[in-house]
Amino acid sequence: MFYYSIKRLLMLIPVLLGMTLIVFAIIHAIPGNPALTILGTKATPEAIHSLNRSLGLDNPWYIQYFSYLKDILSGDLGTSIQTHTPIASEIWPHLAATIELSFIAMIIAVFVGINAGIISAWKQNTVLDYTAMILALIGVSMPVFWLGLLEQWGFSIKLQWLPSIGRDDIRNSVDPITNLYLLDTLLQGRFDQFWMVLRHLILPSIALATIPTAIIARMTRSSMLEVLKSDYIRTAKAKGQKMVWIVYKYALKNAFIPILTVIGLQTGLLLGGAILTETIFGWPGVGLYIYNAIQYRDYPVIQSGILVIAFIFVMVNFVVDLLYGLFDPRIKYR
């Protein structure tokens, strides 16, 4: 297991390097001079030339790439053109907001998706099965931003049950410690604020969770159907074990590997979907950070935002890969 982890970690290096190269290439392929973007259209040619030199933009591309790589490795993600602040220092609150939102969305997706899939497989070809699968089909076909808008209309505007924008109330804002607001409010013993933060999380996390929930439900159903037909399940049934016990204790464990793979892959969808969800709900995460940077053509922020999200996605899949063995001891690490 240890050697496998090291081997897998080493295999990540070319992927991570390739990611930096692609992001670097994309940003350098964008038409227009970054110095001109920073200085504005009224800048003199001398000022542009001097900034080009100080930014290293007059060097060949490979020198620029290695310098970029060196910066990243030393934790320097560049400086925002818009705020003139180092991105590494301003990205964390945004990243924490996205992590909190994606985490809650993933919990919803896993809980609802797995249970819907189990019930669907258990009650195959019944009304329950058909209903769950029709809902799952609509779920995978639903644009996140449309669902988000409908939620806002229904639950915020019409029913006025839940807030539609932001992470907290302006008049009762959270004092950040880790910037994970649920955790911060608990650490401060502010349960009223914890409830407020949770209420803000409900609509965006449900919108974000829809597609992953539907995909996990479909995967769980097909995976469970296969396992429920196996001999050991028939034996357990013959021994008179309760069906709930059989399904959740024995069958789910064996059906879990493909489900786990899907969960890992859905992280990418969640992180990508965050840009749409955050835009609608004014959620100050990395998605909204990148969206605002796009509007302002703040390329260093776009570059680093995309890189950070891709990095998290790769690492989550790395962890999922290592988790396989925990759920299925038959898997041998080599």
Partner 1 sequence: MPQASQAQLDPSGAPAKSPMTFALGEFWKSFRKNKPAIAGTIIVLLFIFFAIFAGFLAPQGINDQNIRLKLQPPSAAHWFGTDDFGRDILSRILFGARLSLRVGFLSVIGSIVVGTLLGIIAGYFGKALDVIISRFFDILLAFPSILLSIAIVAILGPSLNNALVAIAIVNVPVFGRLVRSRVLTVKEEEYVMAARSIGMGDARIIFQHILPNSIAPIIVQGTLNIATAILDAAGLGFLGMGAQAPLPEWGKMLSDSREYIQTAPWTVLFPGLAIVLVVVGFNLIGDGLRDALDPRMKN
* Site residues (vs partner 1, CB under 8 A): 14-15, 18-19, 22-23, 26-27, 29-31, 137-138, 140-146, 149-150, 152-153, 157, 222-223, 225-226, 268-269, 271-273, 275-276, 279-280, 290-291, 294-295, 299, 302, 306, 309-310, 313-314
Q: Which one, 112 or 211, has the nearer CB to partner 1? A: 211
Q: Which one, 49 or 321, has the nearer CB to partner 1? A: 321
Instruction: Provide the phi-psi class of 261: left if phi over 0, else alpha when psi is between -120 and 50, else beta.
Output: alpha
User: Is the Cβ–Cβ distance between 282 and 288 less than 8 Å?
Assistant: yes
Q: Which one, 180 or 288, has the nearer CB to partner 1? A: 288
Q: What is the C-alpha separation between 220 and 314, in angstroms, rounded? A: 23
**Considering the complex, what minimum distance in angstroms separates the CB of residue 273 from partner 1?**
7
**Considering the complex, what minimum distance in angstroms separates the CB of residue 124 from partner 1?**
12
Q: Which one, 19 or 128, has the nearer CB to partner 1? A: 19
Q: What is the C-alpha separation between 265 and 242, in angstroms, rounded? A: 33
CA distances to 66, 125, 180, 191 from 62, rounded to whole Å, are: 6, 59, 38, 53
Q: Which one, 59 or 222, has the nearer CB to partner 1? A: 222
What's the token pair of residue 3? 């050697």
**Considering the complex, what minimum distance in angstroms separates the CB of residue 207 from partner 1?**
12
**Considering the complex, what minimum distance in angstroms separates the CB of residue 70 from partner 1?**
20
Beta partners for 139? none
- The helix/strand/coil state of 51 is helix
Question: Token match 């001097």: residue?
Answer: 50
**Considering the complex, what minimum distance in angstroms separates the CB of residue 159 from partner 1?**
13
**Considering the complex, what minimum distance in angstroms separates the CB of residue 270 from partner 1?**
8
Amino acid symbol at 226: E
Q: What is the C-alpha separation between 261 and 255, in angstroms, rounded? A: 11
Q: Which one, 174 or 293, has the nearer CB to partner 1? A: 293
User: Is the Cβ–Cβ distance between 169 and 195 less than 8 Å?
Assistant: no
What is the Cα Rg of the chain in Å? Answer: 24
Question: Token match 């994606």: residue?
Answer: 102
Q: What is the C-alpha separation between 299 and 281, in angstroms, rounded? A: 24
**Considering the complex, what minimum distance in angstroms separates the CB of residue 311 from partner 1?**
9
CA 302, 304, 310: angle at the middle one, nearest 5?
Answer: 100
User: Is the Cβ–Cβ distance between 211 and 142 less than 8 Å?
Assistant: yes
Q: Which one, 23 or 196, has the nearer CB to partner 1? A: 23
Q: Which one, 150 or 187, has the nearer CB to partner 1? A: 150
What's the token pair of residue 201? 């999380």
Report CA torsion sign: 306, 11, 216, 195: negative
**Considering the complex, what minimum distance in angstroms separates the CB of residue 258 from partner 1?**
10
**Considering the complex, what minimum distance in angstroms separates the CB of residue 192 from partner 1?**
29
Q: What is the C-alpha separation between 300 and 302, in angstroms, rounded? A: 6
